[in-house]
Structure 1
Amino acid sequence: MPTPDPTWFERDPLELAPLLLGGVLRRADASGAVALRLTEVEAYRGSDDPGAHTFRGKTARNATMFGPGGHVYCYFTYGMHHAVNVVAGPEGSGWGVLVRAGEVVEGESLARERRSARRASAPTGELARGPGNVAQALGATLADDGAALLDEPSPGHRGGPEAHIEMTPLWSFEPAAEPPAHRTGPRVGVSGPGGDASAYPWRFWLPGEPSVSAYRAAVARRRSR
């Protein structure tokens, strides 16, 4: 099925997160397209969630999370990598779902090329394992923040017949025909109250998938002097 109407994403992230599992998230640009069958996600619930970027309100960095559902929230973290989220809920809620892992189902060679540009090659099942690798496989950067999840139109041509194709990155999401069975547990690497496993078991994953992360509790980071 095509990307759902934006209102499909305007759900509580605890409802949307398991519906994203097994669905296909795709990003296409002039380099090509990469698509992931989502295997692991985490829900974040705004002002009700001390682990959420939006817990303390709207900022320039997290503004996309306060927009309507059905958009991409992309941020840069730890000075190391980008991460991709699907904005959930109605406008103003500050809700979203982090894409933690996926299986590359289209564009494996491009995903592998992007991976090898920064580090050693990885087994196929681990190309998009972890939020940083998800963003890298898809080619997502801060320029993608706020992008809408749409049906993909044909790329436009500019200039004469020998001109290259210019394409703005295009995002789409195709839900699974039937939501697959999943498991839940604590979110990975969330510190403080938001990392309470009993209060916030808001990680959702497909069992038996090699792309799913191994659980790691948060480690306090020292501030550099």
Structure 2
Amino acid sequence: MPRRLRQSFFARDVLVVAPDLLGCTVSRGGVTVRLTEVEAYAGYLHDPGSHAYRGRTPRTAPMFGPGGVTYVYFTYGMHWCLNLVTGPAGSAQGVLLRAGEVVAGVDAAAARRAGVSPRDWCRGPARLATTLGVTGVDSGLGFCPPHPDVDLVLRARATPVDSTRVRVGPRVGVSGPGGDGQAYPWRFFLDGETSVSVYRPAKSRVPKGPT
């Protein structure tokens, strides 16, 4: 079985961690998902697309912790989205888990996503969080060994990722300066994966970024 990712993996800069997560797996509640799409958010003072851009709030407080902590936020009044905090404490960097493929725990995933096509179980950040059973109570918790606070397990890639398959582009739904795909090409995904979500530009100028 591939090794479990430790805190040192997440202590690095978000733009290094994000593409390195492609092909890794995340497990919770009997379901394992291979990650095919993520977005990087550089946080406090550095990223206008980030929730943490203007500083710490009660909601974004987990982002200001050290790498290896969860940040789960509520969106559109109905969905949870899962982020993994990276970098040093205070930097408020993080990776939004956007999409993936269920590779283990199909029965548990099907029960949580009744009536939904398997291709769409984790095709988008809210769907991914729902399939893993993640909610707001999971925000701000450490997930790295040796003493994790939440039963969220990140493991290294089972097989190497062909670097020619890694694509970059603008982040989905981020408006304002943070939505500039030239300045912030911080969405990373694996070409040819059917689980990758559809790109949609923002409809407003209110930052949607999760970190």
TM-score, length basis structure 1: 0.84
**Structure-2 separation of matches of 1:152 and 1:105:** 25
> Could you tell me which residue of structure 2 aligns to residue 77 of structure 1?
75
**Structure-2 separation of matches of 1:148 and 1:105:** 24
Report the residue type matching 1:67 in the other structure: G
Question: Which of 73, 84, 87 pairs up with 1:86?
Answer: 84
**Structure-2 separation of matches of 1:61 and 1:148:** 16
Residues 31, 104 of structure 2: 8 Å contact kept:
yes
Tell me how far 1:114 sits from its aligned partner: 1.4
**Structure-2 separation of matches of 1:49 and 1:169:** 28
Aligned CA RMSD, in angstroms, stands at 1.9
> Could you tell me which residue of structure 1 aligns to residue 198 of structure 2?
214
C-alpha offsets along residues 66-110 of structure 1, whole Å, 9 cap, x if unaligned?
111012111111102000011110111100000000101111222
> Could you tell me which residue of structure 2 aligns to residue 16 of structure 1?
17
Taking the TM superposition and a 5 Å limit, the aligned residue runs for 1:1-225 are 1-28=2-29, 33-46=30-43, 47-116=45-114, 121-151=115-145, 169-176=150-157, 177-181=159-163, 182-220=166-204
Tell me how far 1:140 sits from its aligned partner: 0.2
Residues 171, 187 of structure 2: 8 Å contact kept:
yes
What is the percentage of aligned positions where both structures have the same residue?
A: 50
Residues 70, 85 of structure 2: 8 Å contact kept:
yes
Q: Gaps (5+ residues) in structure 2?
A: 207-211
User: SS in structure 1 opposite 2:113?
Assistant: helix
Residues 7, 145 of structure 2: 8 Å contact kept:
no
**Structure-2 separation of matches of 1:211 and 1:123:** 11
C-alpha offsets along residues 28-59 of structure 1, whole Å, 9 cap, x if unaligned?
3xxxx111100000000012100011100111
Report the residue type matching 1:5 in the other structure: R
Tell me how far 1:179 sits from its aligned partner: 4.1
Residues 19, 179 of structure 1: 8 Å contact kept:
no
Report the residue type matching 2:105 in the other structure: G
Tell me how far 1:5 sits from its aligned partner: 2.4
The structure 1 segments of at least 4 consecutive aligned residues displaced by more than 3 Å after TM superposition are 150-153
Residues 71, 146 of structure 1: 8 Å contact kept:
yes
C-alpha offsets along residues 97-136 of structure 1, whole Å, 9 cap, x if unaligned?
00000101111222222122xxxx2222221000110110
Tell me how far 1:8 sits from its aligned partner: 1.5
**Structure-2 separation of matches of 1:104 and 1:148:** 23
- Number of residue pairs matched by the alignment: 200
**Structure-2 separation of matches of 1:197 and 1:75:** 23
**Structure-1 separation of matches of 2:24 and 2:174:** 25
**Structure-1 separation of matches of 2:58 and 2:160:** 37
Tell me how far 1:150 sits from its aligned partner: 3.4
Tell me how far 1:220 sits from its aligned partner: 2.0
**Structure-2 separation of matches of 1:69 and 1:169:** 15
User: SS in structure 1 opposite 2:199?
Assistant: coil
Tell me how far 1:4 sits from its aligned partner: 2.5
Report the residue type matching 1:136 in the other structure: T
Report the residue type matching 1:131 in the other structure: P
Tell me how far 1:169 sits from its aligned partner: 4.7
